[in-house]
Chains A and B, each alone.
Chain A
């Protein structure tokens, strides 16, 4: 319990630090005020307009006041409007977030469901033909950036065969499941390829280590079937790196697949944030980063909690200190 509380405090600290860092960076950027005013009013603003903007955004106040009032707004949900579309930032985020979540989930599911069986079998039959082939494939995939995969997939499945529309048109999962999946299939595959390769290699390596432990020999000596040894005895203690990587990627994929979102014209969180950076809409950037950071750290916290479930040794270690 003390461990949980400590991790919780750590998590909150990280969020505070991230938002503080973002605010500070945006505030103390060279010419921050002028850039912001120009972004809000367009070029050639009059002095009165500029002063109004400065007052409106609270740029005349000291930094810590600005930060605390921002924090208050963030917590209470009064995020204000975007500069360009003049919609609330909250509604923009609400529109973008599901797209990112879907993309992340589909990508992860595809990658994990392929990686786990392949890795387990590769580790079990180390240096077999299957192992070498999967290693080679994974190797190739790791060297393929998503901005190469995406155009190739688009060329093959949207241009040469018109199976899925390009650009992807987002529709809700329950509104039109077919269109929904069509919109997400190519982006998800693009995201899943390198994930699959990474996961496969991580799990395979850990699995090979585990399979040489004494408890596996014991299990084998007891006559446990291969499948049970692999999936019951060996998989769990081998999951450490895989779980960490998966968790790290949840956060990374939420905002980090800008290129895929951009290429398939899906308006996810990554695209929203980047476009806001490009348009110098710093308030929007701040909220986006805060949300992404919040998601990232909560998932990390969650994963730390399940470590104990995965590996009893961790629980014992924590109990000791």
Chain B
């Protein structure tokens, strides 16, 4: 990761860009472009493989693909020889047991797990629930938070106190507990088929937890502009509150909003993983990153690291790429603003 260079981060856009002109900037831009394309490339790769995960050229990543249980178990027996084999590039790692009946000791780009499933294929399959849930949740969360935060930050007074108190109440619950609580609250008592656990409670829970911190951030950003000269000028010219909010302040906080959205997306992918880690995300047959990581930790003590760390790496790179893009995007906005 050492070649990734992040030079400006999102908040530096409060600072005027003028003093950053000159030759160092050109160099910086070029590096940023490379990492940007790496990030975009990785995310494209993940999305495409997630969509096409079922037709990946790897065996037995899930029983979903089989017509009957019998087919699945036959295929499983065929791959029993390949249990817990390290990835091909990991020459330094030994499988815990010799593969039955000889054959390769290293398999695939991420190795195989306890059931002989190919970890790479399962990791791609696991991208589906993570990305869907986090993406939907941040969209709703940010939309609500922007409105609340700008109203609170611009009008102040009793509205601010009211919104602040609501966010305070929600923030007073530790976020993860609140999510767990919401998920249990909405799913527990349906008692329907375990595999049919709906997605919406998880999404709703994540929306609820993402609103308070986002509202606070938007509010703080609004406040930092609310007393600026151009706002004061607009007000003294007789502009209405809504006009000032949407025409004067919103354009200024949009870059911040975009970076919040991407950071939030990354955080929610992580949060969804945390739920999965605690066994609260989507149910059994579907693999998720969190579940794969947590299932693998049992084997860590025997130095079988790839079962846990390979999905972890996948998730890390995804989250990192999203964060990077957030950064790049905020730079882009920043530049435009400076030109205009």
Contact = CB atoms under 8 A, between A and B. Distances in A.
Interface of A: 10, 13-15, 17-18, 21, 25, 29-31, 35, 127, 131-132, 135-136, 139-140, 142-145, 147-148, 151-152, 154-155, 159-160, 166, 201-202, 204-206, 208-209, 212, 241, 248, 251-252, 254-256, 258-259, 262-263, 270, 273-274, 277-278, 289, 292-293, 296-297, 300
15 contacts: A14-B168, A18-B173, A29-B188, A30-B189, A127-B20, A132-B6, A145-B273, A147-B273, A148-B309, A148-B312, A209-B14, A255-B177, A256-B174, A277-B177, A289-B173
A208 B15 contact: yes
Given A25-B185, A136-B5, A293 B172 contact: yes
A166 B324 CA distance: 34
B11 interface: yes
A204 B315 CA distance: 27
Contacts of A296: 171-172, 174
A140 B303 contact: no
B278 A274 contact: yes
A151 B297 contact: yes
A183 to B, nearest CB: 17
Contacts of A273: 177
Contacts of B176: 255-256, 258-259, 270
- Among the interface residues B2, B12, B213, which one has the most CB atoms of the partner chain A within 10 A? B12
B6 A135 contact: yes
**Main DSSP-derived SS at the B contact region:** helix
B99 to A, nearest CB: 23
Interface string B207-250: 00000010000001000000000000000000000000000000
Given A159-B301, A205-B9, A274 B180 contact: yes
B40 interface: no
A136 B1 CA distance: 8
Contact of A145 (B177, B185, B305, B319): B319
A307 to B, nearest CB: 13
A139 B6 contact: yes
B130 to A, nearest CB: 11
A23 B189 CA distance: 17
Contacts of B4: 136, 139-140
Nearest to B213: A248
A140 B320 contact: yes
Contacts of A30: 188-190
Contacts of A262: 278
Contacts of B294: 147
Given A14-B168, A255-B176, A296-B172, 18 more contacts: A10-B161, A14-B169, A18-B169, A35-B189, A132-B5, A147-B277, A147-B312, A155-B300, A202-B11, A209-B14, A251-B171, A255-B174, A256-B174, A256-B176, A259-B277, A273-B177, A274-B177, A292-B173
A155 B270 CA distance: 21
| Residue of A135, A148, A278 with highest tally of chain B CB at under 10 A | A148
Contacts of A140: 1, 4, 320
Interface of B: 1-2, 4-7, 9-12, 14-15, 20, 24, 28, 161, 165, 168-169, 171-177, 180-181, 184-185, 188-190, 213, 220, 263, 266, 270, 273-274, 277-278, 290, 293-294, 296-297, 300-301, 303, 305, 308-309, 312, 315-316, 319-320, 323-324, 327
A212 B168 CA distance: 33
B7 A160 contact: no
Contacts of A143: 266, 316, 319-320, 323
Given A255-B174, A293-B173, A159 B297 contact: no
Given A151-B309, A160-B303, A289-B177, A300 B7 contact: no
Contacts of B12: 205, 208
A144 B324 contact: no
A80 B6 CA distance: 54
Q: Is the interface of A mostly helix, strand, loop or mixed?
A: helix
B186 to A, nearest CB: 9
B320 A29 contact: no
A154 B189 contact: no
A262 B275 CA distance: 13
Nearest to B271: A145
Q: 6 smallest A-B Cβ distances: which pairs?
A: A205-B11, A256-B174, A255-B174, A143-B320, A293-B172, A143-B319
Contacts of A300: 168
B177 A148 contact: no
B111 to A, nearest CB: 15
Nearest to B156: A321
A290 to B, nearest CB: 10
A99 B148 CA distance: 36
A144 B273 CA distance: 12
A251 B169 contact: no
Contacts of A17: 165, 169
A212 B15 contact: yes
B7 A127 contact: yes
Contacts of A208: 12, 14-15
Contacts of B293: 147-148, 151
Contact of A151 (B1, B184, B278, B312): B312
Nearest to A263: B297
Nearest to A285: B181
